[in-house]
Amino acid sequence: MQVVIATSNPGKYRELASGLAPLGWELRPLPDFGVELPEETGTTFEDNALMKAATVAQKTRLPALADDSGLVVDALGGEPGIYSARYGGRTNDRDRNVYLLERLRGVPPEQRTARFVAVLALAYPDGHVESYRGEVEGVILEAPRGEGGFGYDPLF
């Protein structure tokens, strides 16, 4: 089955392609189709993933898989949430991590609970859509740690 990966982020495409390899799908990158993703105007991870997948499936006439994901910090009322990639107006991972640590300054370790949420949405050209949600619980560290990863990985 051919499936369009509804992302313009090459890193996210590689990550999804690696994880989906065992399914044997023929994965197609979005840039092959000249289709632009809709603006993420949803209020939940599900809203945004479903909107992207449905738009791409409709425009390409192929099944489309989209994701929306982010970090949810309890002490911050769920921030950064759906705004994780553009949190605080910061434009790179390092600056977003610094901003997050600033927002959590003075919050004791036992109150720095958080979860990483990822939603995958699979939409078909006939309008059928499915979504899948996964969460990983953790805490936000007081300083970055480790050498690998991206995004909020050094803090989570």
H or E stretch at 131? strand 129-139
**Catalytic one of 67, 68, 95, 126:** 68
Burial 25-64 (b: 16+ CB within 10 A, else e): eebbebeebebebeebebeebbbbbbbbbbbbbebbebbb
CA distance 6 to 27: 10
User: Does residue 147 have a pLDDT over 80?
Assistant: no
Average pLDDT over residues 123-145: 97
Dihedral (CA of 70, 81, 73, 122) sign = negative
Does the annotation mark 95 as catalytic?
no
Integer angstrom CA distances of residue 132 from 47, 65, 109, 123, 147: 12, 11, 31, 12, 30
Query: What residues does each domain of the chain span?
Result: 2-139
pLDDT digits over 22-45, tens only? 999 999 999 999 999 999 999 999
pTM of the model: 0.91
pLDDT digits over 75-122, tens only? 999 999 999 999 999 999 999 999 999 999 999 999 999 999 999 999
User: Does residue 11 have a pLDDT over 90?
Assistant: no
CA distance 150 to 61: 33
The answer regarding whether domain 2-139 maps to CATH 3.90.950.10 reads yes
